[in-house]
Structure 1
Amino acid sequence: MNRPIVLGIVLVTLFLATAPVFTQTPLAATDKQVIYFGVIPRYNPIIMYRSYQPMMDYLTANTPYRFELKLSRNYHEAVEFLQNGTTPVASLGDVTFAEAHQKFGAEPILKPLNADREAYYHSYIIVREDSSIQSLETLKGKHFAFGDYHSTSGKLIPYHHLKLHGIELDDFSSYQHLESHDAVAKAVLKGNVDAGAVKDVVALRYREHGLRFLSISDPIPSVPIVVRKDAPEELVTALKMALLAIDPDDPRIGQELIRWDPEFSHGFVPAAIDDYQLIFDLTSNNKTGCGLGCH
């Protein structure tokens, strides 16, 4: 056989062998041990499944386990699932991770990168595009929507951000807590509230539907993938190897990542407890809740 042809076959074989795979035969998947992967309800259930199932499929194809998504009804239940062992691994928010770490020693292992390949995100305060509200100061006397009590970008960070600008909860005509970032965005668009707080990916998703950004927070440490303290070492290693292998610039996998939640489609880096010191500091006055003493 011609030597250049042989060399080409070898190079193609090596190229394919080193690429992460995104599909697997049903038989191979069903033979594997099932691992339930928990996640806080950032969006409505339909969007949650659509955004996170591709990641479960990838992990199943690239680890010795079959990963199944375990949704929770609220942020607190996601922590409970991790605590009682229903889920040995979960994607939590910064506040729910801090709660899980303080309660039962949960540990962060990975954190996602944003589109700029940096490990942080932002909280946005949003209004309707046609709103007369032009500054944070003019939110006084208005109706405001936060996310879940335990949400980092939907409650903790915007609460402190507003406070730094001289706005207390009592300054609102009314305020409420909704179950997800999607619910907050829709409440603002429908005019049920004058303004609300959501995470960046949700603000950007709904901007074309008529949202305007009133304020953007300082950088927030990106949301961690968390494991139980007693999670099997081989499981943790498999998760790290599979997710750290993702290179969004690799044309072999870039198209597949389009189907992932945008928060997780730009790769991962290792995470450490110290990365979340800001969150521990902000929640230090209430170690079992959202850190605001509000419930």
Structure 2
Amino acid sequence: MRQIKGLIMGLSAVLLLGACGTTDTGTEENGDEEIDELVLGYFPSADVENMAASARPLEEYLSEQLDIEVTGQVMTDYTGLIEAMRNQNADVAFLPPFAYVQAEERANVEVLLKAIRDGSESYVAQYNVAADSEFDSIDDLVEAEGLVWAFTDYTSTSGYLFPAQQLMDLGIEDLDSQFTMIDVGAHDSALLSVLDGQADFATTFEDARVRLEDEIPDIYEQIRVIGTTEEIPNATLSVRSELPEELKERIAEAFLNMNDDPEMLEVLKDVYNWEGFAPAQSSDYDVVRDVYSQFEELIEE
């Protein structure tokens, strides 16, 4: 895992250069920021091109609600999204729990809301294996050696960090020695790695199989879930703290109004399989900070 730090540093540098090409979102006037455009950043959960198309109605809705042009940007990984917020090239962002904790520390972002999914404000990470796999529990994975583990990204809360902590708590001292680990960029890609025989198991959010249901109707039969982690607070809607307070309130209100808008709820379902939003505060993510503290030295810039 000592290679993680260098890997993420490289990704940050590349994506920072890309982020610098985004549109300036405002000008300074008498110390207050005059906003004439907002950039909404998305974290990757499925194919980037498909996500961009699915999310377009969301940007149109927000533009109308806020009377400000809203454009979307789907990032290729969490680090790029954090860098965009840090450099003020993204104003509003959907940030997974761990990415939010990092962004709060590095980019001084502010959480406004958290997602509701499956009627809950929290979720678990799950361990996925092929239907014919010999493994039936997390303990089976711990006892085996040389397995290939597929996950989204080293900074993914459910894809890597919470499972990694759990596996270490179960007695694995060196994850690098125990497993061959492949970060594949998206939760559905991790599942496909299992289906294709490239990985023995994958860790994803709950239940990532829904992302492949249209493409693979019997995905629930082809992939088995053999265990889960502890509860994790859902992904956030976060903003640059420098935005005017009045605008932050309007942004939060616009997203909360989606809870009563069936058309927009369908869009949220298409993009992230979410069911709406609930108020959130920084302390809701203390459990994520506890996990972060175990990996901070390995992934900090």
Do both share a fold (TM > 0.5)? yes
Distance 1:170 1:88, change over 3 A: closer
- 1:148 matched residue in structure 2: 153
Identify the match of residue 245 of structure 2 among 233, 244, 251: 233
Distance 1:173 1:98, change over 3 A: closer
- 2:194 matched residue in structure 1: 188
1:162 pairs with 2:173:
no
Q: Which has the larger radius of gyration?
A: 1
Q: CA deviation at 1:235?
A: 2.4
Q: CA deviation at 1:53?
A: 2.4
* Alignment: residue pair count: 256
Q: Percent identity?
A: 26
Matched ranges for 1:1-295 at <5 A: 33-116=36-119, 118-139=120-141, 140-141=144-145, 142-168=147-173, 169-170=175-176, 172-206=178-212, 208-209=218-219, 210-247=222-259, 250=260, 253-261=261-269, 263=272, 265-287=274-296, 290=299
Partner letter of residue 129 of structure 2? V
Distance 1:278 1:126, change over 3 A: same
- Note the aligned Cα RMSD (angstroms): 2.3
- Give per-residue Cα distances to partners, 1:75-98, cap 9 Å, x unaligned: 111101001111111111111111
Task: Give the TM-score taking structure 1 as reference length.
Answer: 0.79
Partner letter of residue 269 of structure 2? D
Distance 1:187 1:157, change over 3 A: same
Distance 1:212 1:264, change over 3 A: closer
Q: Give the Cα separation in 2 of the matches to 1:132 and 1:150.
A: 29
Give the structure with the higher percent strand.
2
Partner letter of residue 120 of structure 1? S
Q: Give the Cα separation in 1 of the matches to 2:60 and 2:274.
A: 14
Which of 265-274 and 151-160 deviates more? 265-274
Q: Contact (CA 8 Å) 1:150, 1:289: kept in 2 or not?
A: no
Q: Give the Cα separation in 2 of the matches to 1:114 and 1:49.
A: 21
Distance 1:217 1:52, change over 3 A: farther
Q: Give the Cα separation in 2 of the matches to 1:82 and 1:215.
A: 34
Structure 1, unaligned stretches of length 5 or more?
A: 1-31
Structure 2, unaligned stretches of length 5 or more?
A: 1-34
- Give per-residue Cα distances to partners, 1:28-83, cap 9 Å, x unaligned: xxxx9321101222222123224432322221222222211112222111101001
